[in-house]
Structure 1
Amino acid sequence: MAVSRFSASALPATSAPPTRPRPAPQLTNAPLDYAYDGTFEGLLTVLFSVYDRKSAPNSIQPLGAVQGGLFVQPVEVVTDEATAARVWKGLLQYMDAEARTRLFHTFLSEQPDRELVIFRYADLAMRAGRDISEHYADDNVRRVQRLAQQMYREKHRMEAFVRFEKTQDGLFHATIEPDFDVLPLIAAHFTKRYADQRWLIYDRRRHYGLYYDLHRTDIVQFDAGTAPQRSTAVSATVLDEREPLYKLLWQAYFDHVNIPERKNLKLHRRHMPLRYWKYLSEKQPREQRFEPIRNKRPVQPGGPALGAGVADAE
C-alpha cells in the first residue's frame, strides 16, 4: 500500500523572501526533550514548537527511539502538515532554496543527531538574518555541507547502478540497499526516464519502495515476508522467460567492452564500490565462459590494422 513520506518537491510553491526577515524568538525557557513521529514534516513541526514554547531542545528523537530519564519525559509533538509547510516556507527568509534543500538531504542521511544538526543550522541562520551556507567556521554548517555532498554522490550512484528484472506480468523490479535514504531523491529521475513501463525499486534496508504505474510514482511499503528479495533469490517462475537471456547479453556486453590491458581494480572499486556488486548483473557469476570476438586481423608489418570485412572489400 502507499505510505506518506515527506518530499520537498511536494510542498507548495513559495514567493520571494521579504527584505527584512523577522528575528527568531529568544529561547528563554528551560530546555526540553522533544519526540516526534520520525518524518521530516514532524521535524519541521518540532522546530515550530521549539520557538512557540521558547525552549531549546536538549534532544529531538523519533518516538521509536526515545530514551527518556527517570524524572524527565520528552514532549511529544504531533505532526501538523500546515505547520510544517509554514516552517518550510519561512526558512526561505533566512536562506536560499539550495541551502534549504540541504537540510532535507541532511534529514535523509539518517545520522543519529541529524535533528539537532538541522535545528542548530536553522537557528544560526535565523539569528544571523541571512544565508550562512559559507560560514564554514561553524561545525553544523560544515556537517550539513558534507552530508549534502554524500547524499548527492549516493543519489548519482543509485541512478547509475539500478538493474531491473522483468517479471511475467510486465513489471520491472530492482532491489537496492543504499547507505542513505535516497529513494525520495531518485524518484523524479526514474519516473522521467522509464515513463513507458511499470517499475518497482525496493529499498531492502528501509523496507519501502517506489512504484510507477504508468501514471504516477507512489511510495509503497510491504508486509514482512512479501517484500522483494535480491535478484538472485527471486524465483525463476516469477521472472519473464527471456530474463536469463537479457542477463547473459548484458554480461557479454560488459565482458567485450572491457579492456584487460587497462585493468585497474583500485579505480574500478572507487567508481563502483564493492557493496553494490551483489545487485549488478555484470558482477554475477558467469553461466557461460567468456570468449573474445575474433573479428580482427593481426597487424601486418608495414600496414594498418584493418577489420576482416574492410580488408576483403579492398
Structure 2
Amino acid sequence: MKQVYICQDTIIGVFSAIHDAWMENRDDDSGIALRGQMMPKMFCEYTEVEENEQKSIAVERLIKKNLGYNAYWDIYHALLSDDCEKADAVYHTMLDARQIKDSKRIMEHLSNPHVARVFELSRKVGNEAHIFTEFIRFRELENGVLFSEIAPKSQVLTCIADHFTNRFPLENWIVYDQTHEIFLAHQARRKWVLVQGEALNTEAAGKISEKEGKFENLWKMFCRSISIDERGNPNLQRGHLPICYRKNMTEFN
C-alpha cells in the first residue's frame, strides 16, 4: 500500500514529513499530503506527522547540499503557495534529483512534471510577492505604528519582509495577512519577526492618527484630480491593478 504522510501547511511541517518519508526510503510508494486539504484514496495508508524543527533543519541542509541554493529557494517559494499538492511535488522532485548525474541541475529538467510544478508554483509566489511590494498601503495608527492589511493567496510575508525592512528601518510597522492570519512585525532598528496564533485587534487597527487622516484625504484628492474621465479604460486598469487588491488600498476606500 502507498504510504501517505499528512502534515501541517508550513515549511517546518512539510520538511518534517519529507524527513520521515525519506528516512523510511519508500521512494515512489510514498507521498505527502496537507492536513485538511486532502481527499482519502483507496489502497493508501495515512500517517500523521508532527512538526519538528530538527527534522526541518536536516532536510533544509540536505536540499542545499545536494540540490543547491537556487533549487532550495524554488522549493521554499513553492511551499508558500496555496496549491494543495505542493508538498508532494517537492518531495518527488527531491526523489527524481537522485536519478540524474548532477542533482544541482534538477530545476532545469522541466520535462519532469514534478519539477515543472515546483517551478510554476515558485514563479507564482514570486510574482505575487513582487505585486505586494507595490500595492501595500500603510496607515499610521494613534500609537505611531505603521499598519497594513493584505489578503494574499500565498504566504508571501517572508518574501516581502526584507524589502520593507530596508525601506523603513527606523519605523515600527506591522503587515497583517488576513488570509492566513499571520503578522509580519518590525521594531525600529531590529529584525522582522512572524507572529502566529494571535488575533487582530480591529478596534486598535481602526484608530488612525489625525495626521494620517489628513494625508489619506490628500492622497484620494490627488488620485481624483489626475484622472481624466473621458480617457478612462477600466479593462486596462484591471490589467495593471486587479480588483482583488483594491479593498486594502487607500485610494479605493
Give your verdict on TM over 0.5.
yes
What is the alpha-carbon root mean square deviation over aligned residues? Answer: 2.6
Match of 2:186 in 1: 212
Q: CA deviation at 1:45?
A: 2.4
Match of 2:98 in 1: 126
1:60 maps onto 2:36 in alignment: no
Give the counterpart of 2:215 among 225, 243, 246: 246
Instruction: Report what 2:140 is aligned to.
Output: 166
Cα gap change, 1:223 to 1:83, in 2 (>3 Å): closer
Residue 110 (str. 1) matches residue 82 (str. 2)? yes
Q: 1:137 to 1:80 in 2, by over 3 A?
A: same
- When normalised by structure 2's length, the TM-score is 0.87
2:2 paired with 1:35: no
SS at match of 2:251: helix
Q: CA deviation at 1:202?
A: 0.3
Matches of 2:48 and 2:112 in 1, distance apart?
A: 29
DSSP-derived class of the 2:13 partner: helix
CA distance in 1, matches of 2:58, 2:209: 48
Name which of structure 1's ranges 252-261 and 203-212 shifts more when overlaid on structure 2: 252-261
Name the CA distance, whole Å, in 1 between partners of 2:64 and 2:131: 30
Structure 1 residues 207 and 227: CA distance shift in structure 2, 3 A: farther
Secondary structure at the residue paired with 2:109?
coil
Which residue in 2 is equivalent to 1:154?
A: 128
| 1:124 shift after superposition | 1.0
1:98-139 deviation per Cα after TM superposition (whole angstroms, max 9, x unaligned): 222111111100201111111111111122142122212112
1:128 & 1:93 partners in 2: Cα distance?
15
Partner of 1:255: 224
SS at structure 2 position matched to 1:242: helix
Deviations 1:271-303 (A, max 9, x none): 21111111111122xxxxxxxxxxxxxxxxxxx
Larger Rg: 1
Moved more, 71-80 or 206-215: 71-80
Distance 1:213 1:96 in 2: 33
1: CA distance, partners of 2:8 / 2:88: 15
Matching of residue 221 in structure 1 with residue 196 in structure 2: yes
Cα 1:62–1:273 change in 2 (3 A) is: same
Does residue 51 in structure 1 map to residue 22 in structure 2?
Answer: yes
Tell me how far apart the structure 1 counterparts of residues 44 and 92 of structure 2 sit (CA, whole Å): 22
Deviation at 1:247, TM superposition (A): 0.7
Could you tell me the percent identity over the aligned residues? 24
Distance in 2 (alpha carbons) for counterparts of 1:257 and 1:102? 41
Give the aligned residue type for 1:140.
H
Count of residue pairs the alignment pairs up: 249
- Map of 2:110 onto structure 1: 136
SS of 2:166's equivalent in the other structure is helix
- Provide closer, same or farther for how the CA distance between residues 194 and 140 of structure 1 changes in structure 2, counting only shifts above 3 A: same
Deviations 1:115-171 (A, max 9, x none): 111111111112214212221211222222221221111001111111111111101
1:275 corresponds in structure 2 to: 244
Task: From the two aligned structures, give the one with the greater helix fraction.
Answer: 2
Give the TM-score normalised by structure 1: 0.71
* Aligned twin of 1:8: none
Amino acid at match of 1:217: W
Match of 2:234 in 1: 265
SS in 2 for 1:75: strand
In structure 1, distance between residues paired with 2:230 and 2:222? 17
Aligned to 1:200: 174
Report SS of the residue matched to 2:71. helix
**Partner secondary structure for residue 128 of structure 1:** coil
5+ residue gaps, structure 2, are none
CA distance in 1, matches of 2:2, 2:44: 11
SS in 1 for 2:179: coil
